[in-house]
Amino acid sequence: MDKVKFSIKNVHYAVLDPEGTYGTPAALPGAVSLSMEPQGEVSPFYADGIVYFQTSSNNGYSGDLELAYFPPDFLKAVYGYKEGETSKVLTEYANVQPKPFALMCEEEGDSTGTKFVFYNCVATRPQRELQTKEDTIEPSTQTITVTMTPLPDGKVFAMTGAETPDEVAKSWYTKVYEEERTDTVQAASQPTERTGE
């Protein structure tokens, strides 16, 4: 079991088609960072002078993925860039909507590390910053903002643990891991216990 976490690596993506099927994961090398801010809110209901009942919505996550650069295959698969057959020039079109995709990555640890898959991601176009070269060369990076929303069945993301079998962990990037949901009852918020009566 990991005691500390310290790096991101092995970022992959797999395009999600309209029928809900994932393509084969492809690598996005040069990972710098991934931030994930939970999206959702707690909605309290007040009665008898207290919070009588409350619900918490889970709208997934939103954050930034920073890479050394986003390769042409990603730009074509997700953003619909077109490549000339003979010129090999990439062209971006304004009337093309980005495709949803699964985002997979690994957080290194001192023991086993943790592998993640976010099932339903949509991303903004890569931010680009062109700079002049100075006395020292500092590589430029590119960043996209990723919105990770639940699938229709409620799945947001999955991650490995210390007891995950080796065969599952070793095959993590061969296809998008999906485990069937077996529970039929949604967890419900419980009324706040009344005291002082």
- Residue boundaries of the structural domains of the chain: 5-170
Contacts of 122 (CB under 8 A, 6+ apart): 98, 100, 146, 147, 149
pLDDT digits (tens, 9 = 90+) for 67-111: 999 999 999 999 999 999 999 999 999 999 999 999 999 998 656
Contacts of 87 (CB under 8 A, 6+ apart): none
pLDDT digits (tens, 9 = 90+) for 133-159: 777 777 789 999 999 999 999 999 999
CA angle 39, 164, 121 (to 5 degrees): 30
Q: What average pLDDT does this structure show over 23-49?
A: 89
| pTM, full prediction | 0.81
Q: What is the reported pLDDT for 197?
A: 44
Secondary structure (3-state) at 72:
helix
Q: What is the reported pLDDT for 182?
A: 64
Band of residue 51 on the pLDDT scale cut at 50, 70, 90:
confident
Q: What is the reported pLDDT for 132?
A: 72
